[in-house]
Amino acid sequence: MEHKIKNVVFDVGNVLIDFCWEKHCRHLGYSEEIINAFEKNMVNSDCWSRLDEGTMEEAEAIEEFVRRMPQYEAKIRKFWDTAEGFVEEYPYAAPMMDLLHKKGYRVYLLSNYPLHMYEIHWPTFAFFKKVDGYVVSAAERLKKPDPAIYHCLCDRYGLIPGECLFIDDRMENIEAARQVGMEGICFRSMEQLQRESQIFSEE
């Protein structure tokens, strides 16, 4: 596999960054009861999925979350007003980009991500300044594992799928990448990635 790979394509959430919204809630002083309600009615909801695919505006989603959890309206609005606080870049992310470039690979991002959060989060990530290109789901109104979003990345940057290694923490997204001709590794940890592919080894 590795001799033909020229491009490494990363998912962002839970691969290069920690989507630590629960930690953010606790930092805001929210109870476990509120966190559980947010998980069920917001983070794992159809509305969040629509934010990822760009078919719902953030303001509209917030109003829907308030409608579903009116008792937590103030806390919902504060959560979204401080949205910059619920992600953290993993310390290995930027150095890994440097390593891959040093080895001659090009690096791309392919992520399901709400548009406004992409606009406020990604410019703050050190690794973002090091990538060769990216596709954000909400901007394209496409979402993994739809094969069209993988083709969108390849078409935009002239990539050959068979020369791409895709890294994602969801197996359904890896399977979709393989269906369009990419290689794929389901991410669990940096150590696991280094064990499974010499591409990520510093040796």
For residue 179, give the nearest of 153, 152, 155, 145 by alpha carbon: 145
Question: Which amino acid is it at 125?
Answer: F
- Ordered by start, the domain boundaries in the chain are 2-18+90-200, 21-86
Sign of CA dihedral 50, 42, 71, 121: negative
Supply the DSSP string of 81-143, one letter for each residue: HTGGGG-EE-TTHHHHHHHHHHTT-EEEEEE---HHHHHHHGGG-TGGGG-SEEEEHHHHT--
Q: pLDDT, tens digit, for every residue of 93-146?
A: 999 999 999 999 999 999 999 999 999 999 999 999 999 999 999 999 999 999
Give the burial class of 164: count Cβ atoms within 10 A of its Cβ; 0-12 exposed, 13-18 middle, 19 or more buried.
buried
Q: How far apart, in whole angstroms, are the C-alpha atoms of residue 153 and residue 166?
A: 12
Q: pLDDT, tens digit, for every residue of 52-71?
A: 999 999 999 999 999 999 99
Give the residue carrying structure tokens 């033909």. 4
Q: Which CATH superfamily is domain 2-18+90-200 in?
A: HAD superfamily/HAD-like (3.40.50.1000)
Sign of CA dihedral 140, 145, 148, 150: positive
